Amino acid sequence: MEVLYKSTRSDSAPISASKAILKGLSDDGGLFVPTSVPALDRPLMDFASMTYQETAYQVMKLLLTDYTEEELRGCIERAYDSKFDIPEITRLHKTSDAWYLELYHGATIAFKDMALSILPHLMITAAKKNHEDKQIVILTATSGDTGKAALAGFAGVEGTKIIVFYPKDGVSSIQERQMVTQKGDNTCVIGIKGNFDDAQNGVKKIFTDRAMKEELAQAGYQFSSANSINIGRLVPQIVYYVYSYGRLLKDGVISAGDPVNFVVPTGNFGNILAAFYAMKMGLPVGKLICASNSNKVLFDFFRTGSYDRNRDFILTSSPSMDILISSNLERLIYFLTGNDAAENAALMKDLTEKGVYSVTDQMREKMDVFFGGYADEEATAAQIRRIYEKDGYVLDPHTAVASAVYDQYLAETGDRTPAVIDFTASPFKFERAVMKALGQPSDMSDLDLADRLSEVSGDAVPEAVNSLRTAEVLHKTVCEKDGMADEVRKFLGL
């Protein structure tokens, strides 16, 4: 059955998966959603014996129906290879309370690699299929991890250029170094004087600027996005929920059909939305536990039904979750309205104009699979320490937020359904916060600190960090938040 994609904000004609991946965002500012969500067509037990790559094919073929088997398997093969430092691509680590799904074994040591190592291949294939002769310009806002993962994915890819905007003072030191040392003539990295929401808004504005689009087309370019608003990011993320379910089946922790709870450290609502889609496709899910840091807009939303971004933006030790406008929530809202584009568009207009919207009671009833929680800075640091002392396992701050929220969930509900906690970044990426939390000295250079963390955790310093020791800074531009369009023009020579 062919799956097509339509905008969450209007009822314009649906387009194919490959076209939706090329476009990134709909012209009306809406996000692409599948017109229907297909069901898994293999018995759950089959997933117990599948590799990551095979699971990826079985899941993605259902949603990216205009890719041929050969195309899709080719993309998967090129993405999930020795760039990952374990042959299984991801694995479950059992502690006393839960299973941690280690999603940070890719080239840039954050879970963003799970989707961004395949997105360039999906996009290039899409360009070929659609006889697109314009060069693709990837325009991306990052809270730290997307940027490097996208740069690594697109660097040197023929027919593409990539421009990344990050909040100059809003990312970890290792995250910034990873980005500004990126090689490749087709890459451009710019710090902005603002926070992630400013970067994301700026990018969305450039995307929907018709004059700019014209200018670009004349110069032989077209924009696309590597942010999780791109359906080509979301679809690959569904895979690891199915894969982890398969691992639990294989280990005899569950039987086919038993529910699993998933705990997701959340920012832009992309990762947890992928879990929601996995559930819609038939994966047995108990609860989706949405964990926020001190920027707890989502926690408040799940509690009150009101989404209110009018509040201070807080810089935390989990910067990839420092977000007040969770873009992907729009896809859930659209679903909650019963796929009513006009109603969703009205709510999104409220968000833009007033910074707040509320959903109806009827919509709230449909959200009850979600449990929202949050952990502030103190609770996050305490959790890093607690899990280290109890299980000898070092979490990064994002994962610690999820872990702390899971403890709250257990205390509140007593629900002992097996739980998988997404482990979203290597602790080496946020080593200063981690070492402080562990009560270790942290007053030294980034790279000395990496060596110390290696001694404490017993894990080798990842290559992604080691390589920074000698890497040259290649990107030095910093701009005002309203100067983003000009920087894009400059880089593209418009």
Ligand X SMILES: *Cc1c(COP(=O)(O)O)cnc(C)c1O
Contacts with ligand X, residue ranges (CB under 6 A):
110, 112, 145, 228, 265-271, 320-321, 398, 424-425
Contact 99, 123 (CB under 8 A): no
Query: What are the angstrom distances between the C-alpha of 237 and each of 50, 118, 211, 224, 227?
Result: 17, 10, 34, 19, 13
Give Cβ neighbours of residue 471 (< 8 Å, ≥ 6 apart). Answer: 177, 181
Buried b vs exposed e over 59-79: b needs ≥16 C-beta within 10 Å? bbbbbbbbbeeebbbebbeeb
**CA dihedral for 372, 374, 380, 385, sign (positive or negative):** negative
Q: Out of 6, 112, 148, 287, which one is annotated catalytic?
A: 112
Residue nearer to ligand X on the CB measure, 44 or 151: 151
Q: Give dist(CA 343, CA 335) in Å, integer.
A: 11
Least distance between ligand X and beta carbon 175 (Å): 9
Q: Give dist(CA 354, CA 348) in Å, integer.
A: 10
Q: Give dist(CA 101, CA 406) in Å, integer.
A: 14
Angle, CA of 379, 385 and 387, to the nearest 5°: 100
Inter-residue long-range contacts of 344-349, CB under 8 Å, 24+ positions, other chains counted: 344/8, 344/9, 344/30, 345/8, 345/9, 345/10, 345/28, 345/30, 348/8, 348/9, 348/29, 348/30
Q: Give dist(CA 455, CA 457) in Å, integer.
A: 6
User: Helices 484-492 and 196-208: crossing angle, nearest 10°?
Assistant: 60
Task: Write the Ramachandran bin of 458: left for phi over 0, alpha for psi from -120 to 50, otherwise beta.
Answer: left
CA 229 to the chain's CA centroid: 9
Give Cβ neighbours of residue 455 (< 8 Å, ≥ 6 apart). Answer: none
Q: How far apart are the first and last CA of the chain?
A: 43
Contact 355, 309 (CB under 8 A): yes
Give Cβ neighbours of residue 192 (< 8 Å, ≥ 6 apart). Answer: 165, 166, 167, 168, 198, 199, 202, 478, 479, 480, 481, 483, 484
Q: Give dist(CA 272, CA 323) in Å, integer.
A: 15
Least distance between ligand X and beta carbon 403 (Å): 12
CA atoms within 13 A on the CB side of 165: 31
Contact 442, 450 (CB under 8 A): no
Residue nearer to ligand X on the CB measure, 16 or 271: 271
If 0-12 CB within 10 Å is exposed, 13-18 middle and 19+ buried, where does residue 203 land? buried
Q: Give dist(CA 269, CA 267) in Å, integer.
A: 5
Contact 444, 438 (CB under 8 A): no
Q: Is 476 a catalytic residue?
A: no
Which residues have a catalytic role annotated? 112
